Amino acid sequence: MDFSFSEEQTLLRNTIQSFIQDNYDFDKRREIIQSEEGMSKDNWKQLAELGLLGVPFSENDGGLEFSSVETMIVAEEFGKGLVVEPYIQTVVTCGGFLRRASEAQRQEHLPRLISGDEIWAFAYAEPQGRFNLADIKVSASKSGDDYTLNGDKCVVSAAPWAQKLIVSARTSGDQSDKEGISLFIVDKANDGVSTRDYKTVDGSMASEVSFENVKLNSSSLIGEEGNAHALIELVADETIAALCAEAIGAMSVLNETTVEYCKTRKQFGQPIGKFQVLQHRMVDMFMQYEQSVSMTYMVNLKLEEEDIERSKAASGAKVQICNAAKFIGQSAVQLHGGMGMTDELNVGHYFKRLSMIETQLGNADHHLKKYSLAS
Amino acid sequence: MDLDFNQNDIDFKNEVRDFIKVSYTQEMKDELSRSKNGSASKELHVKWQKSLYEKGWIAPNWPVEHGGPGFTTTQKYIFETEMAHAGAPRTVPFGLSMVAPVLMEFGTEEQKKKYLPDILATNVWWCQGYSEPGSGSDLASLQCKAEDKGDHYLVNGTKIWTTLAQHADMIFCLVRTSKTEKPQEGISFLLIDMKSPGIDVRPLITLDQSPAPYQEVNQVFFEDVKVPKENLVGEENKGWTYAKYLLEFERGNSYSPSLYRGINKLKDIAKDTSIGNGKYLINDMDFVNKLNQCEIEVQALEFVELRIFSALSAGQRVGPESSILKCRGTELQQKIQELSVEAIGYWSSPTVYDSFANINEPSIGPEYAMTITPSYLNGRKTTIYAGSNEIQRNIISKAVLGL
């Protein structure tokens, strides 16, 4: 057993840290998220040049063939920098599907993903389904070798920037059956695809996506028809592992910032960090953070395990991260007092991102239930 | 001891409902339902308060001699409950329930005559100048100074977190009039005309991102502002006493009526939120248990409030027990906001940039979801303002438990 990082992994971390230092201070980030584009294409290109968009892909596919630990390092550092460019959406989630796709699909799509020429988004959520990945009304009906896609997906993260979507759709069965779900690659420029784009609370962007008689041929289908549920669960768990890493990055900044603030902010003739009630709160924040780091390592090391073990690991980690995100986010604002309420301080921006991570791919309640059902 | 309403109470309840039906117009409801920070336009607040004024109900807590309605405890309870249930705008507190009680207790006859009628009629909008960048929880360390220049004071300094100062005609301010060993002993309570030369109001944008001019808080700068001597309330250097007196009114409201409103809205959301498999959030016992735990805690607070307020007559203050109400009221409000964000799931994520300004743009997701995340974010202020909840617990331990 060994929890240390290799030299290469430390080097990777340093590379990302200097990328963020150079390109992503708080003011630059503000400019990016307030721009109409909402992200920086230059940054995306730079991430590609650093090889980061190829982290999880095999060398054959043009990637670096790194493990989940490297993905964890990237996501954690991006969490510290509050990076809005859609790394997890494109590389971890859509990349997770694509690296298990057919040879032909990998050859067709991965080069443009890894080179930064295409951004990808996963359209899975539907208004009626909440966090249930199998509750799908979007339908893909087959005639001959072709499919016709109809229905609506909601709050599709990164979709405004994406050229390609991966869409979960029902090819057979009832609305919440686990069987009968298929995955399709959809070009956003296809006839019948329409979006309503908007910014999100955490400085990112998302879309409402509608499909109206969108024609797809069989080369768009990932894996077997009707059999995608297990793959969706797997990739969702990998995404959760990366979101946990992003969250601990954000938590670490909030904890450091808060301790620093309480050392310097003086009231009643002394630093407020001298007050025991605040000390204990910061100690609890610190303990929550340490447990979150540990659960993040745990899930990232268990992604290769059998479905049930992996799923429990992901749900367990997400429960811990959701609870800690709430506690640390809220406490950081509280301990910064009125300043914590302002848009000009970074604290609120980290708090917002952590609040959104709580919901993404299921909140604490959802994953606690899932964990219990699997136990 | 009983909880029953008599026929007069029932008649009164119907009268309140009828009033709301007529005065709280659909237009007002639409505007307020889109507000991210609970405030609406100045026009809406003034219009609403003037209708309450004409009915004689604008100041339920004022003594009759100053224009209060003389409600019984039961009537006051009915009034607040009905108003909250309908989601009617809250009256802006700075004039009616903050500076007014101070003037009644410590002001001169002239000051009472000059200011109280306009507060009652909402002819003048007040704001509160307490906190400063260096003086939050430690309010007594405040530095904004007023120098004695014979017939006037010369005020220099700054006040922060000044709620809705962009609308205000007057500000009541704590200022330093002398440097003493105990900082509390050199503070005075001044009334300042916001149109005085040398005052600058700058918006502070908060987490809910309500843009100016719909911002909730501001920083107010004073540069050589001349304030007539007659605007001093009570004695010079005794302002701390009046400030604390005011704070007990600021903290000593009843919270439970609006908390029940929050719970009811949350139940409606849970009934409307599909969770897949043809089920709704209201069928999810994990969520429902959390919601009901909240409701029980609100009821516990409600009965604390009823016990406290029924022991008071109009114009009386709550005392240090007001800190209990402030702690529980704000923490429960935050809990309800937190559960509301949880309830709407993915709809918590779309941003609404404008507040009630963009009334004609269709919402992303259900309309009720639009303001929930901004309200949750903005709601974090409640355990910070009016003396942080850490300070409130210090007050309870000192002044109530004698520790």
* Residue B247 pLDDT exceeds 90: no
User: Do B178 and B266 fall within a single domain?
Assistant: no
Say yes or no to pLDDT of B313 above 90: no
* Secondary structure E strands in A217-344: 221-222, 266-267, 270-271
Q: Distance (Å) from the C-alpha of residue A38 to the closest C-alpha of chain B?
A: 13
Chain A closest-CA separation from residue B382 CA (Å): 10
B287 to chain A: which residues are within 8 Å by CB?
365
Is residue B347 in a domain? yes
Q: Please name every residue paired with A168 in a beta bridge, in sequence order, or none if there are none.
A: A183
CB contact under 8 A, B284 and A206: no
Query: Domain boundary residue among B91, B112, B137?
Result: B91
Assess whether pLDDT exceeds 90 at residue B302. yes
Distance from CA of B236 to the nearest CA of A (A): 23
Average pLDDT of chain A, as a whole number? 97
With contact defined as beta carbons under 8 Å apart, do B137 and B173 qualify?
no
Whether chain B has a CB inside 8 Å of the CB on A151: the answer is: no
Contact B48, B24 (CB under 8 A): yes
Give me the half-sphere count of Cα atoms (radius 13 Å) on the Cβ side of residue B325.
Answer: 27
Question: Is A199 in contact with B388 (Cβ distance < 8 A)?
Answer: no
CA–CA dist A137, A168 (Å, integer): 9
3-state secondary structure of B157: strand
Q: Given a cut of 70, is residue B329 above it in pLDDT?
A: yes
Across the interface, of A268, A340, A355, the residue whose CB is closest to B138 is A268
**Tell me, what amino acid is at B201?**
V
Whether the Cβ atoms of residue A9 and residue A73 lie closer than 8 Å to each other: yes
Q: Considering only residues 78 to 97 of chain A, which have any Cβ-Cβ distance to chain B shorter than 8 Å?
A: none
**How far is it, in rounded angstroms, from Cα A262 to Cα A278?**
8
A136: which 2 tokens?
């799908």
Domain harbouring B174, CATH code: 2.40.110.10
Using left for φ > 0, alpha for ψ between -120 and 50, and beta otherwise, residue A156 falls in beta
What residue ranges do the domains of chain A occupy? 7-118, 121-227, 230-374
Residue-level pLDDT, tens digit, chain A, 375 residues? 899 999 999 999 999 999 999 999 999 999 999 999 999 999 999 999 999 999 999 999 999 999 999 999 999 999 999 999 999 999 999 999 999 999 999 999 999 999 999 999 999 999 999 999 999 999 999 999 999 999 999 999 999 999 999 999 999 999 999 999 999 999 999 999 999 999 999 999 999 999 999 999 999 999 999 999 999 999 999 999 999 999 999 999 999 999 999 999 999 999 999 999 999 999 999 999 999 999 999 999 999 999 999 999 999 999 999 999 999 999 999 999 999 999 999 999 999 999 999 999 999 999 999 999 999
Q: Taking CB atoms and an 8 Å cutoff, what residues of chain B touch A341?
A: 206-207, 217, 378, 380-381, 384
pLDDT for position B359? 52
User: Which residues make Cβ contacts (< 8 Å) with residue B54, sequence separation at least 6?
Assistant: none
Q: Is B77 in the same domain as B136?
A: no
Nearest to A12 by CA among A75, A106, A60: A75
CATH number, domain of B257, equals 1.20.140.10
3-class SS at B1?
coil
Maximum distance among all alpha carbons in chain B?
77
Answer whether residue B96 is part of any domain. no
B231 within some domain: yes
| Sequence letter at residue B278 | G
CB distance B138–A334 less than 8 Å? no
Calpha distance A354→A322 (Å, rounded):
8
Q: Is residue B46 part of a domain?
A: yes
Q: Which residues contact A187 (CB under 8 A, 6 or more apart)?
A: A163, A164, A165, A193
Residue with tokens 């790194």: A66
Cβ separation A337–B383 shorter than 8 A: no
Would you state the pLDDT for residue B335? 98
How is residue A30 written in tokens? 């503000």
Q: Which of A128, A333, A365 sits opposite B287 (nearest CB)?
A: A365
Q: Which of A122, A201, A207, A371 to mutate to test the interface with B (most CBs of B within 10 A)?
A: A201
Question: For chain B, how many structural domains are there in total?
Answer: 3
Give the gap in angstroms from C-alpha B166 to the nearest C-alpha of chain A. Answer: 17
Q: State how far the Cα of B208 lies from the Cα of B160, in Å rounded to an integer.
A: 18
Amino acid identity of residue B168, one-letter, is: A
Fold (CATH) for A7-118: Butyryl-Coa Dehydrogenase, subunit A; domain 1 (1.10.540)
**Angstrom distance (rounded) from CA B80 to CA B90:** 10
CA diameter of chain A:
79
pLDDT at B250 over 90: no
**A196 contacts B377? CB cut-off 8 A:** no
- What integer is the mean pLDDT of B118-142? 96
Domain membership flag for residue B246? no
pLDDT value of residue B33: 84
Residues B278 and B366 in one domain: yes
The residue behind tokens 């502070």 is B204
Q: Which long-range contacts (CB under 8 A, 24 or more apart) does B361-370 make?
A: B364/A196, B364/A198, B364/A208, B365/A127, B365/A154, B365/A155, B366/B272, B367/B33, B368/B33, B368/B265, B368/B268, B368/B269, B368/B272, B369/B269, B369/B344, B370/B34
Q: Which of B138, B373, B380 sits opposite A333 (nearest CB)?
A: B380
Q: What is the dihedral of CA B77, B78, B81, B87, to 10 degrees?
A: -130
* Alpha-helical regions (H) of A24-140: 26-34, 41-49, 68-81, 87, 95-98, 103-114
Residues from chain B that touch A330, judged by Cβ atoms under 8 A, are: 334, 380
Task: Please check whether residues B284 and B380 belong to one and the same domain.
Answer: yes
Q: What is the DSSP string of B108-147?
A: -HHHHHHHHHHHHTT-S-EEEE--BTTBSSSGGG---EEE
Size of interface A-B (CB pairs under 8 A): 140
Model pLDDT, residue A223: 97
Reference A171, options A207, A136, A122, A128; nearest CA is A136
Could you give the percent of chain A with pLDDT greater than 70? 100
Give the integer Cα–Cα distance in Å for A79 and A77. Answer: 5
Mean pLDDT of chain B: 93
Same domain, B387 and B261: yes
Instruction: Count the Cβ atoms, other than its own, within 10 Å of residue B46.
Output: 16
* CA pair distance B386, A341, nearest whole angstrom: 14
Q: Write down the pLDDT at residue B198.
A: 98
Residue carrying structure tokens 């057993």: A1
Contacts of B317 (CB under 8 A, 6+ apart): B101, B245, B248, B249, B252
Q: Given phi > 0 = left and psi -120 to 50 = alpha, else beta, which region is A103? A: alpha
The structure tokens 């040398």 sit at B198
Cβ distance of A342 and B380 shorter than 8 Å:
no
- Using the Cβ of A272 and the Cβ atoms of chain B, whether some distance falls under 8 Å is answered with yes
Q: Which residues of A touch B204 (CB under 8 A)?
A: 342, 344
Q: CA-CA distances (angstroms) from residue B42 to B31, B91, B199, B217, B258?
A: 12, 12, 20, 14, 21
Vertex B390 angle, CA B384 and B391, to 5°: 90
Give the model confidence (pLDDT) of B187-233 as tens digits: 999 999 999 999 999 999 999 988 888 899 999 999 999 999 999 99
- CA–CA distances in Å: residue B226 to residues B38, B130, B144, B240: 34, 19, 14, 22
HSE value, Cβ hemisphere, 13 Å, CA-based, for A235: 26
The nearest CA of chain B is from the CA of A175 a distance in Å of: 7
pLDDT at position A324 is 98
Residue written as tokens 């549920």?
A229
A269 Cα to chain B: minimum distance (Å): 9
> In this structure, is residue B107 part of a structural domain?
no
Is the CB of residue B213 less than 8 Å from the CB of residue B166?
A: yes
To test the contact with chain B by mutation, choose from A124, A276, A359, A366 the residue with the greatest count of B C-beta atoms within 10 A, namely A359
For A160-182, write each residue's pLDDT tens digit.
Answer: 999 999 999 999 999 999 999 99
What are the two backbone dihedrals, phi and then psi, of residue A71, each rounded to the nearest 5 degrees? -60, -40
- Both B286 and B394 in one domain: the answer is yes
Mean pLDDT of B81-98: 94
- Residue numbers in A near B393 (CB within 8 A): 277
Binary contact (A127, B365; C-beta < 8 A): yes
Residue B136 near residue A340 (C-beta atoms within 8 A)? no
Please state, in angstroms and rounded to a whole number, the distance separating the CA atoms of residues B302 and A254: 36
- Distance of alpha carbon A113 from alpha carbon B180, whole angstroms: 68
**CB of B125 within 8 A of CB of B92?**
yes
Query: Which of the four pLDDT bands, split at 50, 70 and 90, describes residue B32?
Result: confident
- pLDDT tens-digit series, residues A103-156: 999 999 999 999 999 999 999 999 999 999 999 999 999 999 999 999 999 999
Q: Do B131 and A176 touch (CB under 8 A)?
A: no
User: Does the interface ipTM go beyond 0.90?
Assistant: yes
pLDDT beyond 60 at B356: no
The CATH number that domain A230-374 falls under is 1.20.140.10
Question: Is the same domain home to B328 and B382?
Answer: yes
Quickly name the fold that domain A121-227 has: Butyryl-CoA Dehydrogenase, subunit A; domain 2 (2.40.110)
Same domain, B322 and B394: yes
pLDDT digits (tens, 9 = 90+) for A3-16: 999 999 999 999 99
Nearest Cα of chain B lies from the Cα of A131 at a distance, in angstroms, of 7
Q: How far apart are CA A212 and CA A195, in angstroms?
A: 11
Give B203's strand partners. B218
Is A181 in the B-facing interface, judged by CB distances under 8 Å?
Answer: no
Q: Facing residues of B236 across strands?
A: none
Residues B266 and B362 in one domain: yes
Contact criterion met (CB below 8 Å) for B336 and B262: yes
A9, A20, A75, A251, B82 from A69: Cα distances, Å: 8, 19, 10, 19, 57
Q: Which pLDDT score, from 0 to 100, does residue B3 have?
A: 79
Question: Which stretch of DSSP H or E encloses residue A2?
Answer: none
pLDDT grade for B235, boundaries at 50, 70 and 90: very high
Give contacts of A 274-293 with B, CB under 8 A: 275, 277-278
Check residue B358 and give its pLDDT.
52
Q: How far is B65 from chain A, CA to nearest CA, in Å?
A: 38
Question: Contact A352/A203 with Cβ under 8 angstroms?
Answer: yes
Query: Which chain B residues touch A131 with a CB distance below 8 Å?
Result: 275-276, 345
Residue B116 in any domain: the answer is: no
Which of the listed residues B39, B70, B91 is the one where a domain comes to its end? Answer: B91
Q: With beta carbons less than 8 A apart as the criterion, state whether B393 and A280 touch.
A: no
Q: How many CB atoms lie within 10 A of CB A224?
A: 10
Q: Which domain holds residue B180?
A: 124-238
* Integer Cα distance of B14 and A372 in angstroms: 50
B266 and B395 in a single domain? The answer is yes
Distance between CA atoms of residues A128 and A140, nearest Å: 18
Dist. CA B41–CA B64, nearest whole Å: 30
Per-residue pLDDT at B381 exceeds 70: yes
Assess whether B276 and B361 both reside in one domain.
yes
Whether residue B39 is found in the same domain as residue B134: no
B313 CB-contact burial (10 Å; exposed 0-12 / middle 13-18 / buried 19+): exposed
